[in-house]
Structure formats: C-alpha cells, structure tokens
Amino acid sequence: MNERDSESVAYDLVTRGYELVTHEDHADIILLNTCSVREKAEQKAIGKASQLLSPKNDKKITLGIMGCMAQNRGSELSKNIKGIDLIVGTQKFHRVSEYLDQIISKKSSNNLAPIVSIDEEVGSQNTINQHLNFIEPKVTSFVSIMQGCNMNCSFCIVPKTRGRERYREIEEICEEVTRLSEEGVREVTLLGQIVNAYGRGKFKSVNGKTPFVQLLEKIHDIRGIERIRFTSPHPSSFGDDLIEAFGSLPKLGNYAHLPMQSGSNKVLKSMNRPYTREKFLSIAHSLRSINPNMRLSTDIIVGYPGEEDIDFEMTRSAFSEAAFEMAFIFKYSERSGTPAASMADKVPQVIKEQRNQILLDLLSKQSIESNEKLINSKMNVLVESKAKKGGGELIGKTLCFRKVIFPADESMVGKSLSVVIKEVDGSVLKGTII
C-alpha cells in the first residue's frame, strides 16, 4: 500500500518537473513514506530521518515524512526530527508537490517551521490513480480501490491513521485497470485495508454478489489482464460469493491471503475479530475444496495480551490444520491509543520470541512440504523481471503466487510461460522453460 501511495506521489512530482533519482545520495529532496503498524517501523523511520538530517552530512536536503506515522504523530514529529520540512498524512499525498513548491521557494530563510498537513479530505481516495509505467514499464501493478478501515481490531492503529472506509467508483477503477492493460500490465493487485469489504453500505449487492465480487467480475472482463490479486482481505468479508469467485474467475488464480491473527476464540474475541476459529477454518477448507491447487497465506500475531499457552496452542494447531503455505508472523507490538494497549496480562518478550519461532519453524516445514510436491510439474509463470542476482535468469510468479527463477532471455519479460520445476526451497522454485 505504501509502495502504491509513494508511486502516486512520485507521479505527481515527475509530471510537475521534478526528477526521480535512483539513489538517496543524489537527491535534494527525500520523502519517507512510513508505517505505524508496529513500533519498530516508526523507530526505523525516525532513525532514518535523523540520519539523513544529521549535521555530519555536508549536503542539506529537504526532508518530508509521509503516511501513517505522519498522520499518527503530526507536528510532534518535528521535536523528534530536527530540521524536518514536511509532515503529510494519509489523505494528503496528492498535495505533496504543491507543498514542496512552497518549501523550495522559501528555502533560503533557515529554521522555518515544517508544513504539517494531516486533516481529512473528502474524496482523497480518488487521487491515488496514476502510475509511473512511462518511466519503467511494469508487468504487475497495484491499484488502490479504497482507503480506510471501519473495523476496530483492538491491536490495530490503522483506523486511526487511515480513517473511515472510503471507496472509489467501480467505473473509475476499471478505467485505471484498462489503461494499465494498454500500457502492458498483465497483473493487477487490488489494494485496500479491508479490501473485500469494498463498497459495503455504499454500493448494492446484486444477485447475492457483494460490490467487491462485482468489481472482480468487471476487471476479469478487461482484455490483456491475465491475473487479479487483492490484499488485504478480512475473513468476515470472505462470503460464499467470494469463495465461489475462486471457482468461476480463473484470473484470480490459486492463491488467497486469509489473515487469521489467532486460532483461539478467546483471543479473537479480545482482538475484536468477529469470527471464530471454526468459521475461519471452514473458509480455508471451502477455498481448498473449490480449488484443490489453492495456496493459502495468513497473518498471525503472537503474544497478544492475555494469550496463554493454551491459546497459543490453539493458534499452532489451526495454523497446521489450515496448512498455510506462507505467513507473516508478528510479535504483538503495543500501539498507543488502541484498546489492547490498556489491556492487562502483557506477554513477556521471551515468550513472544519463543512462540514466534515455533510458528516460523512450522511455516518452514509446511511451505517446503507443499513446494516439494511441485517438483517436475509444469507451471504457468508470468515473467516479471530479471532475477536480482542476474546471471541470465528471470523471475516470475505462478498462478499460486510462488516465485519462480529460471534461465531465459530478457525479451520474455511480460509473457506467460510454461516452466518445469526442478528445485525448491521454502520460498522459491527453480525451473526451466519448455
């Protein structure tokens, strides 16, 4: 999501005459787009900003902080980051270029207070709609379909930093995807903080299909788009229509992200996640029944306040039962202002570390086991780019969103190819084209 927001800001700046450079050492202006989901992310951003503005640096740069941390902390950030020029919240990305123009025109006078812009702005969800493909053509693109989240998960700071749910119109999203397809994009990833709740309460369900599924069907009809992905969904909005879509819309592929957070009903309740372990596992089961090649990933938080051994054991067993092939496992991080921050029974750091490691080991086992089954199979791969290590290899993804590396000529980028898998580890497959 932050990558997408950053791209949109970069587009505005480039079209206004600013020039993108490839390394921070060459920049006169640096904008840090930030995350507040865990405390570490905020500390990292503050550390980076302070380092960039350190008096030891000969070059004086203009520095801006954008996004969730800017929204969360506002002008208070200027106390932590001396010399910061710009603090821009999550509904003001499209105003960055005008603020920078103002800052630059006044830059000769030193010690100006930073511009701080963190108010809500009606319609701001419609402004994240431009891409930089004309600079660097891409095979896969993010498309922001909504902003904000109306859920109130007790651990989560996002409702505070991103505001209430606001949806773009289906037609505008489809226009953007059509444009992308004409520019050579073959895969789109629809983005929203609670992406599958798209349009709820605003657009009507039709024939039992929620606005999100209607949107998926419309995008499915767009020529040139071969794959549609979305992130991040909520299990509570994973209704039958969406599960069935995985059977009827081949471009959705064989992959779904299903954030479980915990396998204990007690913890889920305390997290204010309105589903049970049983309901969650039945969604995972239905997805695997509708498509036997389905690959599932999840998000888990370990060490949430009040999580006892028995609760963690429930998470571990649900993780194994759902047979997740990929997962983002997080140690609970206290976020001030969230309901969980004032809860009793905090879990000690060592226990969080232990639980984290147990799940990482289980994940590694499950992902290797499932990847090993693919050896000698033929998979459809959408080629994205040269592999990072170079050496004549390209990287692409399967319909189940696994990374595949294989030797091939760069002219194959953007194509869908058949690749036979020869080698696997927990995260990457290696193969040859046939």
> For binding to ligand 5AD (CB under 6 A), which residues are involved?
37-38, 155-156, 259, 261, 299, 301, 330, 332-333, 335
Identity of the residue numbered 91: Q
Specify the residue, 253 or 259, whose C-beta has the smaller distance to ligand 5AD: 259
Task: Give CA angle at 38 (28, 129), nearest 5°.
Answer: 55
- Least distance (Å) from ligand 5AD to the CB of residue 299? 3
3-state per-residue secondary structure call for 351-367: HHHHHHHHHHHHHHHHH
Minimum CB–partner distance for residue 330 and ligand 5AD (Å): 4
* Whether the Cβ atoms of residue 387 and residue 411 lie closer than 8 Å to each other: no
Whole-angstrom Cα distance, residue 224 to residue 330?
37
CB of 38 to ligand 5AD, least distance (A): 5
Which CB, 27 or 343, lies closer to ligand 5AD?
343
User: Environment class of residue 359 by beta-carbon count within 10 Å: exposed (0-12), middle (13-18) or buried (19+)?
Assistant: buried
Which of 114, 259 has the CB closer to ligand 5AD? 259
Q: Compute the chain's Rg from CA coordinates.
A: 22
Smallest separation, CB 194 to ligand 5AD (Å): 10
SS3 10: helix
Smallest distance, Å, CB 335 to ligand 5AD? 5
Cα–Cα distances in Å, from 32 out to 1, 16, 59, 95?
Answer: 14, 19, 17, 15
What dihedral angle (degrees, nearest 10) is formed by the CA atoms of 399, 206, 148, 219? 40
Residue with Cβ nearer ligand 5AD (70 or 329): 329
By C-beta, is 250 or 306 nearer to ligand 5AD? 306
Find the shortest distance in angstroms from Cβ 99 to ligand 5AD: 28
* Residue 300: CB minimum distance to ligand 5AD, A: 6
**Short-list 187, 336, 209, 201, CA closest to 255:** 187
By beta-carbon proximity to ligand 5AD, the closer residue of 212 and 330 is 330
CB of 431 to ligand 5AD, least distance (A): 31
Count the helix, strand and coil residues of the chain and give each as a percent rounded to the nearest 5: 40, 20, 40
CA gap 421, 423 in Å, rounded? 6
Residue (of 207, 297, 300, 218) closest to 261 by Cα position:
300
The C-alpha atoms of residue 142 and residue 44 are separated, in whole angstroms, by 25
What is the Cα 364 distance to its own chain's centre? 22
Question: For residue 40, what are the CA distances in angstroms to 35, 70, 342?
Answer: 9, 15, 19
Q: Tell me the closest approach of the beta carbon of residue 26 to ligand 5AD, in angstroms.
A: 32
Please say which residue, 114 or 235, places its beta carbon nearer to ligand 5AD.
235
Of the pair 180, 191, the CB lying nearest ligand 5AD is at: 191
Residue placing its CB nearer to ligand 5AD in the complex, 296 or 301? 301
Which residue, among 22, 85, 75, has the nearest Cα to 52 in the 3D structure?
85
Q: Which of 261/291 has CB closer to ligand 5AD?
A: 261
Do residues 265 and 277 make contact, with C-beta atoms less than 8 angstroms apart?
Answer: yes
Q: Least Å distance between CB 341 and ligand 5AD?
A: 9
